[in-house]
Chains A and B, each alone.
Chain A
C-alpha cells in the first residue's frame, strides 16, 4: 500500500528526515515510537503534504501512485487521513458543514453523487456513536472551544466519516485520560479492515495496549533505527530510549 524509500525532508532549511525507509501493507498496523524531536510528526506531515515541509530526496509510492506529486487534498481523497497532534480551530464553520463538504469532496473525486442531507445526517449519527461523541459537539464550530480530549475524539470521528485507506494517528493519545484513550482506541479498532492500514505515532507504550501493532519502529535522529513486533514497545517502556541512542551512536565494530 505504502512504500517510502530513502526519504529526506527539511523544515526551514533544517534537515529533519535523513533517509526513512518504510513499507506498509494493507491490513497492517505500524507503530512509530521515539524520543521528542526525532522527526515522527515530520513524517506524518510529509505523507499528508503539509507545505511547511520540503522533501529533498526520496520516493513515496501509495497504491501505485507517486504521492509526492499530489496536492494535500488529492492525497486525502486518495485515502490518506491524518489525525492531527494539534487539531486546528476554525471559528464560524460548523462541524456539520465542514464534514459535509469533506465527505462530498471525497465522493466527487470518486465520481459519486453528493450524499443527500438525510443520508449524511444518518452517517453522522452512526459514526458519532462509534466514537461516543457528544451530540452538541457536532453542532459547534470545528474544534472551537473543544477540550483537548474532545478535539482528539473529533479527529477519530472524522476518520470514521471519511473511511481512509491509510490512517496516520499523530500522538492521538497525548493529553487523553484513560477513558478517552479507550474510546479513541476502540474507534480505531472498529474501523480496522483487511483493506486498510494505520500508522500510529506515539510517545508512550500505553496506547499500544489498546491498539495492537503488527510492527513497532523506533525513530531516532530522522530515521528508523530499529524495527520489531509489539514486544519492542514493552522493552522501550521498560528501558527508555537511552539504550537505543547508545546503540545508534556507538559505531558498530566488525
Chain B
C-alpha cells in the first residue's frame, strides 16, 4: 500500500486526552517504607493489611524488573512517581457530594454516574486516580446479597472476605509489578456473588487516570461463590501527557463450584502520540482460578491503548471439569508495543481451555502473543485449543508469536494454530470499486477479522469496541 495511505490512516486522534481541574491530594514522590505506611494510614487500614503491604515492599526491594518480554522499555524511575493521588472530597455519601467536575469528567467519557441516566442493566464503580468516587446500584445489588463496592470499602466492611481471598491467586511474591502493586495499591473494585445468585446486571469498573506524575495501582477482587454467575467489565482512559505514566494493576478472580465469571476489558489508555511520546505503561497481572468443579472463567480483552502493554490474563483450572477461555484483540499503531497473551494451567481432570488471540499491527507497532499451556501430571483428559492470528497493516510493523507448551500427561490434547495475514492492495481496490472508501474498507476488514472476539463482549461494549478499533486505526491502512 502506498505511503500516503498508510500515513493517512494512522492519524487517528485520541478522544479522551483531556484533563480535569479538580482539587487533588497528591502525596510526595518516591517510594520507601514510610510512603507505604502513609498510604495504609490514609486508608485507615487494619494491621494485617499494613503487614501485607510491608511484606510486599520488602520483597519488591529484592526483585528486578523482568526483561523477557519482547518490549523495549525505557528505564522507569520508581522514585519519580507519586503513589497516591485522590480527588480531595472523599467518600461521598451521595451523588450530591461528588465534585461536579468529577461527574462531568465521567459524563464526558460516556459513563453516567446518575443512576436514572445509567445504561440499563449495568452498575458502575468509577475510579479516578487512586480512589473510587462512586459506585452505582449498590443498594439494589445488596438486596440479592451481592457486594459490589470499592476495594477500600470492602476492607472496612468485609475484611474477612478480603483477607481470605486477596493474594490467593496472585501471591505478593508473584512478579515485579504485582509485588509493587501489593505494596502500594490504592483502590479498585470488590465483587462478591453469593451462592446460587445470578447477578442481574453487568458490573463495571471504569478507571481514569487524571493527576500527572502519578501511577495508578488498583486491585480488583472478584469472588463468585458456588452456582453463581457474574459478567464484569472494565474500561479505562487517561489524559494525553508528554511523560509516560505507570499503571500496574492486579485482578484476581475466584470461581467456586459451578460458578461462572465473564471478565471483559476494553483497554483504551492513552497510547502516546504519533512520534511515540508519552502514553501509559500498562503492566498488569490478571489471573483467575477455577477452584471448584465445573467452574468457568472467561477473559475477553480489546486492547487498543497504552504505549506499552504487558499483560497475560490467565487461568488456573483446578476444579475437575472446569473450563477457561481467553479471547483477545490487541492493536498496536504508531510506536505502541504490546506483549500480551495468557497462561492456562490445567490441574484438574477433564479441564478445557480455549485461546483465541487476534493481533493487529500498524505504523511502527510491535505486537507479540505470548502464551503458556501447562498440563500437570494429574490433569487427565485436559484439552486445549489455541488460535493466534496476526494482521499486518503496512510493512514497518511487526507481529510475533511465542507459544509455550508444557504437557505432563499423555491423555492431554493440546492444539495450536497460527496465521499471519496482510490487508492487500487488491482487497482495498475491490472495496473501492464498490464505492467503499479505503478507510471504511480497512474498518470493515479489521472488524471482520476481530468479529469472533468482539462478539464475546456484552452488547453495548461490542459496539464501542468496534468504533474504537476503527478510530485507533484511522488513517493506518497498510
Contacts and interface: CB of A to CB of B under 8 A. Distances in A.
Interface string A41-55: 000000011111000
B436 interface: yes
A102 B436 contact: yes
A101 B436 CA distance: 7
B426 to A, nearest CB: 5
A102 B429 CA distance: 13
Determine chain B's interface SS by DSSP, over half rule: helix
A82 B433 contact: yes
5 nearest A-B pairs in the assembled complex, by CB-CB distance: A92-B448, A72-B432, A93-B448, A76-B435, A102-B434
Interface-central residue, B432, B438, B449, by most chain A CB under 10 Å = B432
Contact of A105 (B421, B425, B435): B435
Interface in B87-143: none
Given A51-B429, A73-B432, A88-B426, A101 B440 contact: yes
11 contacts: A49-B432, A51-B425, A52-B429, A72-B433, A76-B432, A76-B433, A81-B433, A90-B427, A90-B431, A90-B444, A98-B431
A138 interface: no
B448 A101 contact: no
Contacts of B432: 49, 71-73, 76
Nearest to A141: B448
B24 interface: no
Interface-central residue, B2, B426, B433, B440, by most chain A CB under 10 Å = B433
A73 B436 contact: yes
B387 interface: no
Interface string A87-121: 11111111001100110011001000000000000
A165 interface: no
B18 interface: no
Interface residues of A, number: 32
A52 B421 CA distance: 21
A109 B449 contact: no
Interface in A9-49: 48-49
Contact of B425 (A48, A52, A76, A89): A52
Nearest to A106: B435
A84 interface: yes
Interface string B187-225: 000000000000000000000000000000000000000
A70 B451 CA distance: 33
